[in-house]
Structure 1
Amino acid sequence: MASAKRRFGAVRKLPSGRFQARYLDSDGVMKAAPNTFARKEEANRWLTMTEAALVRGDWIDPSRGRILLKDYAERWINERPKLRPRTIALYRQLLRSHIVPKLGGITIGDLTTARIRSWRTELMAGGVSALVVAKAYRLLRAVLNTAVKEDELIRKNPCRIPGADKEESAERPVLTMVQVFALAKLLPEQFQAMVLVTTFACLRWGEVTALTRADIDLKARTVRVVNAYGEVEGSGLELGPTKSRAGRRTVSIPEAIVPTIRKHLDDFVPADPAALVFTGVSKARPPLRRNNFAKLVGWRTATAAVGSPGLHFHDLRHTGNTLAAATGASTRDLMTRMGHDSARAALIYQHATARADKAIAEALDAAVRAMKDDDQDQDDDPEDDATGVPAPV
C-alpha cells in the first residue's frame, strides 16, 4: 500500500542511501534540511517539527546559521562602537586565546550545549583559571545572544551551563586605615598622594592616572572624575571617557589627606590646569603605565612591609569601597561614589560590612558573657564576703 503523500515538504532517497528532507519556504524557494537522515522516519519527523515551528512563527532557516563563529564574533565586536578600548582588547584576547582555537571553525548553527560544555571542560583541564574561563564563557554567551535575539540566525542560545558564568575569585585583601597610610609613606614621595587619593576617592587605575590639576579642588575637598586611561593592545595608552556614564562623578575626600595632596601638587605638578597629577618620574612627565608601576615604586616591598604581600593596586579601590560601606552609606550613595550604574557592587560591599558588623557584635557578646562568668565565679568564691567584694588578704 502506497504511503500517504505529505502535505508539507517531501522526503527523497539519495544515491548514498540516506534521506533528504525538503520544503518550500515563504518565498516559494525549495529548502533542504541542514543534514541528511539515516532513516526516512527521521526525515519525516524533522519536517513535522519544522512545520510546527513555522506555524508558531519561531522557525529560523538553518542556512542562516552557516557562519563561522570566529567570523561572527569578530563582526560582533566591530559593531559595538561604545565598547571601551580596554574592553575590546580583552574580548579580542579571549577570542584569540580561548574561544577560536576550539570553536572558531564551527558554524554557529552547529554549536550545541554539549560541545560548549566540552570546550569549557578542556579549558579548565588545560590550566586556564576559573576567572578567565568564566569571562570567555560570558563573552561567547553574549555573542550568541545577539545571534538569537537580534540577527535571528539561530533559534536558541546553546550556552546553557548552570554556573559557568560565575567567577569564583579569591577574596581580595582589604587594608586598614593604618595600613593605607603606612603603605603611602613607604613609597617614593611622588606617589604617596596617589595611594591616598585612590583609596579614599574609590578610584580605578585608569581614573586616578588620568586626573588633572583642574580635577582637584582642595578647598571643596573634591576629586572630579571625567576621563580614564586605557591600555590597548598594539596601540598603547588611550585617553577616553570613563567606563560608564555613572563613572563621570565628583567624589568628596577626607580633610585628613588634603595636606598630602596639596604638597604633592606644589612639589610635583605644573601650574597648568591640564597637567596630569600623577605621572612617571622623567622630565617629560609621561602617563603612568600599569605594567611597570610596581617596579617603579617598589610596590612589592612596601606591601609586604605593611603585612599585605600580594596586594594589587586595584585593591586600594576595594579598600576604599569597603571603608565607605562601613560608614552606613545608602546603596545609591555608594553607587554614585564608586561610579557604578548597577547596585550589584554596592550591595556586595554593604553585605560584607553587615557580616563584619555581625561578627563584631558576636565578639562583644562573647566578651560580655565572659565578664558575667567572671562575676559569677567571684560570687561563688568562699573567700568573698556577703557583699561580693573580695575579702582583704
Structure 2
Amino acid sequence: MANSQGRRRRFGSARQLKSGRWQVRYRDPGTGQLRSAEETYATKRDAEVALTHIEADITRGQWSDPDAGKVHFGPYATAWLKDRKLAARSRERHESVIRLHLLPTFGARSLASITTAQIRAWRTACLDRTGEPTVVKAYQIMRAILNTAVDDELIRRNPCRIKGADQYDVPERPVLTVPEVYAVADAIAPRYRLLVLFAAFTTLRFGELASLRRRDVDTENAALTVRRAQAEMQTGALFDKAPKSDAGVRPVAFPIELLPDVRLHLDAYAGPGRDGHVFLGPQGGQLRRSNFRGDWIDARKKAGLTVDAHFHDLRHTGNTLAASGASLRELMTRMGHSTPRAALIYQHMVNGRDREIADRLGSMIRKAREDTDS
C-alpha cells in the first residue's frame, strides 16, 4: 500500500509508494479528475520539482494530456482522411498513399511514439523501393496528419522535420520542335491527330482535352472553352470534374492554321450533338489514357523522336513556344494557372492578346510546314 504521509501542496501532492519511489498526483485541468503522473521519482525532492513543472505547464497553457499521444496512428489517419474535403480522385490517391506507404510502418504506433529519426528511416526505406515523387507525396500527407494531431493537442510537436523532404526537383522535360510535333501528329492514328496538335498549340491537359464537347469548339473564332476536366478512378470509372481552380475555366485561342484539322476531325471522329465528346476512344467510347498510351508510344517511335517524350511534354512544348512575347499574366491565363486576381480569367481574351499568342504559334506552324515541304 502506498505511504500516505506525502506532504500536501497547494497544487497536487507527492506521496511515497511501497516500492520506495515517489509519485505525484494533480487535478486534470480538463476534467478536474485526480490523476497520477506517468513517471515515478527516486526522491521526494525530484517528485516536487516534477510537480512544479506540471503546474507551470498548466499555468502557461502548455500542458497536454499524457494519454492523448497514446492514440494509434492508423485509426487517427483514417479519421483524418474521412474529415478532409477532397475531390473523389484526390481522396482516392490520399487513401492509396496512406494504405500503401504510411500504415505498414506507423499504423500500430501511438502518435506520441513517432520520432523524427523514425520518420527519416521510413523515408530512406521508401526511396529505396519507390519513386521520389511518391515518397514526397507520402511525406506531405504524413506531415499534414501530424500537424492536425498537434492542433488536436495529441502531440506537442510534429516529428516531420526533415528539410527538403516535402519537395523534389522535377527533371527537365524535353521541348519538341514544331516539325517534331507534326511528325508525331502525322504518324499517329488519324482520330488522335488533332489531340496531339491541340495539346501542343493550346497547352490543354489530357483531362481537359478528353472532356471537350463540340459546343466547346468555336470554329468561327478559332477558340476553345475549357469548362471541365476528365478524371479516372483506379476502378476505371470516368467522370468530369471542375478544374482545380477558377483559373482553369477559360477561353483558349488556337492557331487558325489548325482550322482545317479541326473541321475534318469534327466531321469524322467527334461524338454526335452539341454535347458529343470531341475526342473518343478507338471503339467510340470515352477517351482514356490507357487506350491512347500505346498509340502515342508507337507514333513517337514512328516519327523518329530521339527523346523519351511523354504526351504531357506537348503542353510543356506549347508553353515554351507561347512564352515568346507573352507576359506572365497572359501565359498564366492561357495555361489555366491561378493568380491573385483570378477574376480576370473570365474576361474574353480570344480577340485580344491570347489571339496574338495563337497567331504567333500559327506563324511558327506555317514556317515549319513550309520548310518541310521545300
TM-score class normalised by the smaller sequence = 0.7 to 0.9
Q: Which residue of 2 aligns with 1:77?
A: 81
Which of the residues 303, 308, 312 maps onto 1:314?
312
Partner amino acid for 1:195? Answer: V
Instruction: Report the TM-score, using the length of structure 1 for normalisation.
Output: 0.76
Which of the residues 89, 97, 109 maps onto 2:100?
97
Q: Out of 217-226 and 66-75, give the one that drifted further.
A: 66-75
Alpha-carbon distance in 2 for matches of 1:315, 1:17? 72
- Contact 1:131–1:168 at 8 Å: present in 2 too? no
Alpha-carbon distance in 2 for matches of 1:245, 1:16? 67
Q: Out of 91-100 and 126-135, give the one that drifted further.
A: 126-135
Q: Tell me, which stretches of 5 or more residues in structure 2 are unaligned? A: 341-374
Which of the residues 123, 135, 138 maps onto 1:136?
138
The CA deviation at 1:6 is: 5.3
Q: How many residues align?
A: 333
Q: Tell me, which stretches of 5 or more residues in structure 1 are unaligned? A: 344-393
Aligned pairs for 1:1-393 within 5 A:
7-11=10-14, 21-26=24-29, 27-33=31-37, 35-36=38-39, 39=42, 47-81=51-85, 83-124=86-127, 126-149=128-151, 151-234=152-235, 236-282=237-283, 285-295=284-294, 297=295, 299-304=296-301, 305-324=303-322, 326-341=323-338
1:108–1:242 Cα change, 3 Å: same
- Contact 2:271–2:280 at 8 Å: present in 1 too? no
The CA deviation at 1:31 is: 3.4
- Contact 1:36–1:43 at 8 Å: present in 2 too? no
Q: Deviations over 1:38-60 (max 9, x none)?
A: 75677666544433332222333
Partner amino acid for 1:288? Answer: L
Identical positions, percent: 42
Partner amino acid for 1:292? Answer: N
Instruction: Report the TM-score, using the length of structure 2 for normalisation.
Output: 0.80
The CA deviation at 1:307 is: 1.9
Helix, strand or coil: the match of 1:223? strand
The CA deviation at 1:238 is: 2.2
- Contact 1:303–1:309 at 8 Å: present in 2 too? no
Alpha-carbon distance in 2 for matches of 1:3, 1:222? 84
1:5–1:233 Cα change, 3 Å: same
The CA deviation at 1:152 is: 3.4
- Contact 1:206–1:230 at 8 Å: present in 2 too? yes
Partner amino acid for 1:311? Answer: A
Partner amino acid for 1:64? Answer: A
Partner amino acid for 1:29? Answer: Q
Helix, strand or coil: the match of 1:62? coil
The CA deviation at 1:215 is: 0.9
1:32–1:117 Cα change, 3 Å: farther
- Contact 1:190–1:268 at 8 Å: present in 2 too? yes
Alpha-carbon distance in 2 for matches of 1:314, 1:39? 66
Alpha-carbon distance in 1 for matches of 2:120, 2:250? 41
